[in-house]
Amino acid sequence: MNVFITGTDTGAGKTHFTAAVLRACGRRGVAAIGMKPIASGAEETPAGWHNEDVAALRAAAPVAAPDADINPYLFALPASPHIAAAAAGVAIDIDVIEAAYRRCAAQAGVVVVEGVGGWLVPVTADFLVADLAARLALPVVMVVGVRLGCINHALLSARAIAASGRPWLGYVANVVEPDLQALPAVLDTLERQLPGPCLGVVNWRDEESLGRAAEALVDALTAPSADPEPR
């Protein structure tokens, strides 16, 4: 089964978690590819334009794929896709993204698609990240960037995902603010208020807890009955 990784906001830890899922697939011998259909914020290097998120997914994936399929759209401006694309004079074509996804899906047993920003970020003037997940017919995992204000962001995002009708596979609590006051109470609130399951709590920069959360998702993706709808 393939999956769409979204987050409560930019910097929630989507790439960190997506790369860990790809590495977990590799450890199990599961053929997997990571996609970042749209990435904004790139710098020019002698080897071409470079984006850290795209590079991280490429390095973590056990199956290689062409750069144009891993990341169909890359923009220099670190902004919402519709703004970054307009600045570059580019029109994002959803058909191009879907075709790249289909090619990846034909090569791998698992494709992990990482969104950009949060669930309702505009991809074009009239097409959201949520619409992209629906277009690709993917179930969703949400990465909660655990910091001050995250409860509101998490609950709003979860309700929007539910309203979209996308199958929900769970959430990951990624502690990006380790000094957050009342952290145990925040985590408890997320567990009580969000639809389960919690795939894991990732402690700040702790590879062990990150690995456990990634393994929990791979368990779900590779279970014999794990395909909520046809691809």
Query: What does the alpha-carbon distance between residue 171 and residue 190 come to, in Å, rounded to a whole number?
Result: 10
Contacting residues for 163 by C-beta, under 8 A, at least 6 apart: none
- Yes or no: say if 105 and 140 are a contact pair by the CB < 8 Å rule: no
- State which amino acid sits at residue 212: R
Query: What does the alpha-carbon distance between residue 132 and residue 145 come to, in Å, rounded to a whole number?
Result: 22
Of the residues 14, 23, 36, 82, only one is catalytic, namely 36
List Cα–Cα distances, 179 to 146, 176, 184, in angstroms.
10, 9, 11
Task: Judge whether 14 counts as a catalytic residue.
Answer: no
Active site residues: 36
